Amino acid sequence: MENLDLSKRVKELRNRKGLSQELLAETSGLSLRTIQRIENGETTPRGDTLKRLSVALQVLPDESIDWQGLEDKSILTMLNLSQLGFLVFPLLGIIMPLILWILKKDKIKSVNEMGKSILNFQISWVALLFFIYITMVSGFVFHFRIFIPWIGMLGIIALIGVLYLFNLIVIIVNAIRCQHQKTVYYRPAIHFLK
C-alpha cells in the first residue's frame, strides 16, 4: 500500500510540474524504466534514487513528497508510552523515547516532531525533579531550609508526588490524543531540541 501511495505522489508531482516520464528520467539521471516502475508501484525509491527524484521534482523528500509514508499510529503511541520508564527511574523517561526517536525519526511521519516535543518535556521534568532533590539533600547536609519552613519534609515528598502524577497524566492524555490522531501537547517544556 505504501508503494501505491508513493507512486501516486510521484506521478502527481511529475504531472503538476508538467514533466513527461522521459523528461523526469532525463532530469533525474534515472532510467525511463525506473521511473515507470516507481509510478506503477513496482519498486520503492530509496537512497540515491530518492534524492535524485526530489531534486528533479524540486521538492524536499520529507515534506512535499512525504517519503516517510503514512503515520504509523502504533509507533507514535509507543513513542508516547515509552516515557513511562520515568516511573522506574527518571532518566528512563528520556532514554527510552530517545532511542525510539533516533531509530524512527527518518522513517515514520511525525516521529521527529513528536519525539522532540516529548524529549523537551521529559528533560525539563527531570531537570526540575533533580533541582528539588538537590535542594532537599543540600538542606539536610547544610542544615538550612530553602523551601518555606512550614512545608517541611512531607511537603517536599508531596511536591515530588505531584510532579510524578502530572507527568503520568500528561503522558496518558497525549497517548490517547495520539491514538485519536489529535495534536499532542507536551507543556511546559524548555526547548532543548528545536
Domain segments of the chain as ranges: 2-65, 73-179
| Under 8 Å between Cβ of 163 and 125 | yes
What's the CATH superfamily of 2-65?
A: lambda repressor-like DNA-binding domains (1.10.260.40)
Cα separation of 124 and 193, whole Å?
11
pLDDT value at residue 64: 44
pLDDT of residue 155: 80
Instruction: Give the per-residue pLDDT at 69.
Output: 46
Looking at residue 85, what is its pLDDT?
A: 95
Grid cell 508538467 in the structure block, residue: 18
- How far apart CA 71 and CA 181 sit, in angstroms, is 9
pLDDT along the chain (194 residues), means of 10: 68 87 92 91 82 83 50 82 95 95 83 93 96 80 60 80 96 92 90 86
Distance separating alpha carbons of residues 5 and 181, to the nearest angstrom:
20
